[in-house]
Structure 1
Amino acid sequence: MKLYNLKYRNEKVSFLQAVKMGLGKRQGLFFPINLPLIKENRLKEMLEMDFLTRSVKILSMFIGDEIKLTELEKYVRNAFSFPGPMIIPVTNNISCCELFHGPTLAFKDFGARFMAQILSHLNKKNNITTILTATSGDTGAAVAHAFYKAKNVRVIILYPHGKISKLQEALFCTLGKNITTIAIQGSFDECQELVKKAFHDNQLKKATGLNSANSINISRLLAQICYYFEAYALINRNNQKKLVISIPCGNFGNLTAGLIAKSMGLPIKSFIASTNINDTVPRFLKTGKWEPNNCVSTISNAMDISRPNNWPRVEELFFRNKWKLNDLGFGSVSDDVTKNTLCELKQLGYISEPHAAVAYRLLKDQIQPDEYGLFLGTAHSAKFKNIVDDILQENIKLPIELEKPSKFPLLSYYMKPDFNKLKEFLLFKS
């Protein structure tokens, strides 16, 4: 399989090269030259498969003979070794698709663990790889746990100091070993900009064997396609024909994966790009002007991103498929509305967390009487225990995955958003 650089289209690489490089020239994202298309009769067969078998089939369509099928099957089974998506009815025509039953209780476990398997495949020569990534909440934990104690891999995670939940922080900032965490005194956008600058520095890349585990890495993105097929397979056939999916969006990788699934032939009717008040994309879809504001902290902190990395991939998909951007649903939700929605969901018998509540609110407001809606549950409510307990007057019990690390000391370094300081740190640590 070949991919091209969206900013420098003459640069073409294989899947494994794209995984290893992370970003291309001019910090460009890689994108498949040919998107596989599944014929209707074949799709029907695939939807009857179990999640793991189908996931191997889907990923093999992109990877081809770069990885032997027997090896790919092993990597998928190792990566997705936890309960898959679960469909939980909330109203008569809306359900939550829960994606948070992995080891770090977030949907990012799918992509991060698959990427770890692919990098282990690439790292057979025992070269040192440095994973540098930025997180607005859940990516950090998923990446840290996916690579924890991995041979010849060190992980550096940047996160905005004081702008993720304490339990999110505890999940990945207490591990140590080959996991290093840096609390940046700034926004997630500033963390993300530091990562981009690092990938633009050839000296740094060469000295450290730099790679990224953000959703800019194609391996993470492709892994996420798999759970859209599973969600579709799990719902009633009558509902499949009228399916609308609302996605809580931060860096827009999750939406990109869903759109790729649709492009492959999965007949999802439409998507809703749901954001909090960091609403660069909703405003762009409304006005046609790309005008990022300064990032604002909200209770749905994993979506506190005003310059989403994956948006160029979304635009490329719409261009390639001759879709119209104005067919994409969108909207933004304030913290006050998010809090009220959490209460509404509780009255319906479902305890949620802020990100899923944003997605539910926009789905509920936009769904038509003849449609069936899924909103994605991207993280366990206990990861936001303080917020959710306060709003709902609950006392959510901590799962063991959160209870244990919450008792450990944080091991983070602290740094201003200064690239020269970060570069010095990375070179010193290499």
Structure 2
Amino acid sequence: MKFYNLKENDEQVSFAGAVKQGLGKNQGLFFPTELPKFSESEIAQLLAMPLVERSVKILHPFVAEDLSAKELTNIVTDAFNFPALLQPISSDRAVLELFHGPTLAFKDFGGRFMAKCLQAFCKKEAVTTGVEKKLTILTATSGDTGAAVAHAFHGIDNIRVVIMYPKGKISLLQEKMFTTLGGNIETLAIDGSFDDCQVMVKQSFDDSDLATTIGLNSANSINISRLLAQVCYYFEAVAQLSRAKSDLNSIVFSVPSGNFGNLTAGLFAKAMGLPIKRFIAATNANDTVPRYLETGEWSPHETVATISNAMDVSNPNNWPRVEHMLKSGIVPADCVSSVSIDEEQTQSTVIQLAKLGYISEPHAAVACKALQYSAQEGEFGVFLGTAHPAKFKEVVESIIGQPIGLPKELADCAGEPILSVDMSADFAQLRAYLLAK
């Protein structure tokens, strides 16, 4: 299968090319030339499989040109070595917990899959050419991507990872999970917003001399490998539901949305035949998409800092993929709605969930509240739990008025020093830094 540039359609690359290149010409996003479509009987067979076996079947059509079934199985087995758990909240609500990986966030699925793929492709290229190239992974994070990417690539030879994040705008424990590793992981605390960080990533790709010199790549959700990995946990959620429900056509997913990679993956799953009725894109005060769907005008405002900081994105990079699917008929145009949830509503939902016996963090609470607003009679709602509540320990404790413990993954890094370099939101400074090393 080939992947084409949504801005420059004549640019087509293989899966390996899309993974290694990250972005296409003119900052275009890569998109598969076709999405495999599974029949109802094939879907039923897939839902009966365990996570790894099913995921190999889902992903193989996308990667067959570059990875054998055995190679893909090895990659998926290594990458998805933790569960996605569906936890009931009420008779018609459940949360899909995606934070049982090594960095306690949903980004572990995509980050680990991408790292394993890129490592495999680099080894193959080295064998073919006799030259072992060095790569620089440059990525921006609003919280959880940084940790997932850092841990996925930590210690891999010939791959340098540079992670930018908005200084003072992510939780301390989120920051500690990726700024304390050292080695081939470098972190830059940017005096600006996440959107500023994204802009500098794009400027780096536009600078062909820089990109060639340092072997530039990105591990943001703009990288197609990240998105394909995330498709698999939507299938896992429906598989778990299928064991308890006979009617799978009433499932609604409420997705906490920042850069919109998570929603993009869900739409891929629906287009491939997974029985999902519709999606709710839940945003915080950074409401570019809800306003766009209502007015038809794309008008990002200045990014607002919220307690659901991983969603503090005003100009989401993945929206062109979503819009392409909606406008081209790959998925029904009416299968996505969007709701903006404010801070007071977020906090009250964390409290409501705690009273039901479920400790949540702000991002899942945004999705839960959006589901409450948008649910229709007869629907079964699943909202995504994208991070462990302990990653937002101070915020959650202040809302619910009770202490929460630290998992080992956070306890191990909580006392470590932060190794970040402070930097202005200035591309010239970033360029000089990247070339200096």
In the alignment, the residues of structure 2 paired with residue 376 and residue 419 of structure 1 have an alpha-carbon distance, to the nearest angstrom, of 35
Instruction: Tell me the secondary structure at the aligned position of residue 146 of structure 1.
Output: helix
In the alignment, the residues of structure 2 paired with residue 239 and residue 258 of structure 1 have an alpha-carbon distance, to the nearest angstrom, of 19
Checking the alignment, whether the CA contact within 8 Å between 2:277 and 2:335 is kept in structure 1 is no
Q: Which residue of 1 aligns with 2:221?
A: 215
The reply to whether residue 273 of structure 1 matches residue 281 of structure 2 is yes
In the alignment, the residues of structure 1 paired with residue 251 and residue 331 of structure 2 have an alpha-carbon distance, to the nearest angstrom, of 17
In the alignment, the residues of structure 1 paired with residue 288 and residue 92 of structure 2 have an alpha-carbon distance, to the nearest angstrom, of 29
Letter of the 2:403 partner, please give it: N
Q: Which residue of 2 aligns with 1:73?
A: 73
Q: Where do 1:107-126 residues align within 5 Å?
A: 107-124=106-123, 125=126, 126=132
Instruction: Tell me the secondary structure at the aligned position of residue 246 of structure 2.
Output: helix
Q: Where do 1:224-235 residues align within 5 Å?
A: 224-235=230-241
Letter of the 1:400 partner, please give it: K
Q: Which residue of 2 aligns with 1:330?
A: 338
Q: Which residue of 2 aligns with 1:292?
A: 300
Q: Which residue of 2 aligns with 1:188?
A: 194
In the alignment, the residues of structure 2 paired with residue 322 and residue 140 of structure 1 have an alpha-carbon distance, to the nearest angstrom, of 31
Deviations along 1:165-198, one digit per CA (max 9) or x if unpaired, are: 0000000000000000000000000000000000
Letter of the 2:395 partner, please give it: I
Q: Which residue of 2 aligns with 1:252?
A: 260
In the alignment, the residues of structure 1 paired with residue 118 and residue 56 of structure 2 have an alpha-carbon distance, to the nearest angstrom, of 17
Give the share of equivalent positions with the same residue, in percent: 55
Letter of the 2:270 partner, please give it: K
Letter of the 1:373 partner, please give it: G
Letter of the 1:191 partner, please give it: C
Instruction: Tell me the secondary structure at the aligned position of residue 160 of structure 2.
Output: strand
Q: Which residue of 2 aligns with 1:400?
A: 408
In the alignment, the residues of structure 1 paired with residue 171 and residue 246 of structure 2 have an alpha-carbon distance, to the nearest angstrom, of 39
Checking the alignment, whether the CA contact within 8 Å between 2:270 and 2:331 is kept in structure 1 is no
In the alignment, the residues of structure 2 paired with residue 368 and residue 348 of structure 1 have an alpha-carbon distance, to the nearest angstrom, of 21
Instruction: Tell me the secondary structure at the aligned position of residue 133 of structure 1.
Output: strand
Letter of the 1:321 partner, please give it: G
Instruction: Tell me the secondary structure at the aligned position of residue 378 of structure 2.
Output: coil
Flag as ranges the 4+ runs of structure 1 deviating above 4 A: none
Higher mean Cα deviation, 64-73 or 140-149?
64-73
Instruction: Tell me the secondary structure at the aligned position of residue 302 of structure 2.
Output: coil
Instruction: Tell me the secondary structure at the aligned position of residue 64 of structure 2.
Output: helix
Structure 1 length-normalised TM: 0.98
In the alignment, the residues of structure 2 paired with residue 375 and residue 3 of structure 1 have an alpha-carbon distance, to the nearest angstrom, of 30
Instruction: Tell me the secondary structure at the aligned position of residue 310 of structure 2.
Output: helix
Give 5+ residue unaligned stretches, structure 2: 127-131
In the alignment, the residues of structure 1 paired with residue 136 and residue 79 of structure 2 have an alpha-carbon distance, to the nearest angstrom, of 20
Give 5+ residue unaligned stretches, structure 1: none
Checking the alignment, whether the CA contact within 8 Å between 2:14 and 2:65 is kept in structure 1 is no
Higher mean Cα deviation, 324-333 or 370-379?
324-333
Q: Which residue of 2 aligns with 1:417?
A: 425
Checking the alignment, whether the CA contact within 8 Å between 1:174 and 1:405 is kept in structure 2 is yes
Post-superposition shift, 1:324?
4.7
Post-superposition shift, 1:241?
2.3
Q: Which residue of 2 aligns with 1:95?
A: 94
Checking the alignment, whether the CA contact within 8 Å between 2:195 and 2:315 is kept in structure 1 is yes
In the alignment, the residues of structure 1 paired with residue 232 and residue 396 of structure 2 have an alpha-carbon distance, to the nearest angstrom, of 30
Checking the alignment, whether the CA contact within 8 Å between 1:263 and 1:321 is kept in structure 2 is no
Deviations along 1:71-127, one digit per CA (max 9) or x if unpaired, are: 110011011112x21111111100101000000000000000000001101111121
Instruction: Tell me the secondary structure at the aligned position of residue 101 of structure 1.
Output: coil
Checking the alignment, whether the CA contact within 8 Å between 1:285 and 1:326 is kept in structure 2 is no
Checking the alignment, whether the CA contact within 8 Å between 1:239 and 1:372 is kept in structure 2 is no
Checking the alignment, whether the CA contact within 8 Å between 1:285 and 1:325 is kept in structure 2 is no
In the alignment, the residues of structure 2 paired with residue 288 and residue 367 of structure 1 have an alpha-carbon distance, to the nearest angstrom, of 23
Letter of the 1:383 partner, please give it: K
Letter of the 1:143 partner, please give it: V
In the alignment, the residues of structure 1 paired with residue 321 and residue 20 of structure 2 have an alpha-carbon distance, to the nearest angstrom, of 19
Could you tell me which of 290, 311, 314 is aligned with 1:282?
290
Letter of the 1:81 partner, please give it: N
Post-superposition shift, 1:62?
1.0
Q: Which residue of 1 aligns with 2:129?
A: none
Instruction: Tell me the secondary structure at the aligned position of residue 169 of structure 2.
Output: coil
RMSD over aligned CA atoms reads 0.9
Q: Which residue of 2 aligns with 1:39?
A: 39
In the alignment, the residues of structure 1 paired with residue 313 and residue 190 of structure 2 have an alpha-carbon distance, to the nearest angstrom, of 15
How many residues matched? 428
In the alignment, the residues of structure 2 paired with residue 119 and residue 176 of structure 1 have an alpha-carbon distance, to the nearest angstrom, of 21
The reply to whether residue 86 of structure 1 matches residue 94 of structure 2 is no
Q: Which residue of 2 aligns with 1:18?
A: 18
Checking the alignment, whether the CA contact within 8 Å between 2:15 and 2:65 is kept in structure 1 is no
